Amino acid sequence: MTNEEFIQNCHDYALGSLEGKDLAEFQTYLRTANKDELTQLAEILSTASLLPLTLERKAPPPHVKEELMKKIQLSARAGDSVQRRTFEPDVLPVPHKRSWLPFGVTTVIVVMVIGFSFYVFKLMGTIEQQNQRLVGVQTEKQQLATQIVALKNELSRKEEMLKVLSSKRIEITVMNGLDVNPVGYGKIIWDPEKKTAILQVSNLPAVPTDKDYQLWVIKGKQPISAGVFAVSNNEPNFFKITNLAVTEPKEIAAFAITLEPKGGVPAPTGAMYMAGSPKL
């Protein structure tokens, strides 16, 4: 509402000709009107309130006052005047001084509470994010540690294999897949003097959790266990073997790999997956 519209409405309001939507809008505007606007309205209302003075004065007949005073007396006797004064709201304004202090204090407290709640909420969000990051970092650290251990093991194994390969004398026997797993293949490289060997296998099926592959050295017709191992994929797998029972090629009839119960058995019981004889 512009100032011009406000002034126009003040005149209409003072004369009682403002109505409906316009009246409602004006009343709404009045709640936030500034001091100058209220002063202007006050002057206009004051001027309008003097209009009755231009009328030729007439006194009401005496009986009006008499009847009024009787009503007042009855009302007072009935003792309801005070009660009605208390409960009838439909009157002229109840002019009273508004104290804005409680409202102001309440508003400040509400704003502070909202602000603090928002800050706490945001802080909790940040803490949660940091926690998640921390968990992520810890998981990553564990993965890296596991990876380092695996790499160390791998390095150690390769160093052992290099030791075998760098021996003065080495023997090699190739093993081929049998009927159970014809695609499998492998080889065993060993040092007859140090009795250490490297076993390499490829395309062996992954072992069930309750089983192991077992390497056998067959001397004559007697199989002697050279250790157990497990594979989890078809990739080439290398294993180091120590304390090989028989190391001279002429004494070894063959090397064989069977699938046995977990931990191995004294004599082969399961299917043979791979076998090969040293070339003399």
Q: Which residues bind other proteins (CB under 8 A)?
A: 7-8, 11-20, 23, 27, 30-31, 35, 38-39, 41-61, 64-65, 67-69, 71-73, 75-76, 81-82, 84-85, 88, 91-97
Q: E strand or H helix at 188, and its extent?
A: strand 185-191
CA 94, CA 164: separation in Å to the nearest integer? 108
Residue closer to other proteins by CB (options 89, 266) is: 89
Residue 110: CB minimum distance to other proteins, A: 24
Backbone dihedral region for residue 45 (phi beyond 0: left; psi -120 to 50: alpha; all else: beta): alpha
CB of 26 to other proteins, least distance (A): 9
CB of 3 to other proteins, least distance (A): 13
Which of 247, 263, 264 lies closest to 255 in space, CA to CA? Answer: 247
Q: How far is the CB of 101 from other proteins (least distance, A)?
A: 17
Measured from the CB atom, the residue of 8 and 225 that comes closer to other proteins is 8
CB of 84 to other proteins, least distance (A): 5
186: nearest Cα among 198, 197, 174: 174
We find the least distance from the C-beta atom of residue 58 to other proteins, in angstroms, to be 5
Q: Which is nearer to other proteins, 95 or 220 (CB)?
A: 95
**In this structure, are strands 211-219 and 171-177 parallel, antiparallel, or unpaired?**
unpaired
Place of tokens 């709201």: 89
When the beta carbons of 99 and 166 are compared against other proteins, the nearer one is: 99
Q: Indicate the SS3 state at residue 3.
A: helix
Quick check: 217 and 267 in contact, CB under 8 A? no
Q: b vs e for 178-205, b when ≥16 Cβ sit within 10 Å of the residue's Cβ?
A: beebeebbbbbbbbbebebbbbbbbbbe
Residue 30 or residue 170: which is nearer to other proteins going by CB?
Answer: 30
Report the residue number, 91 or 101, with the smaller CB distance to other proteins.
Answer: 91
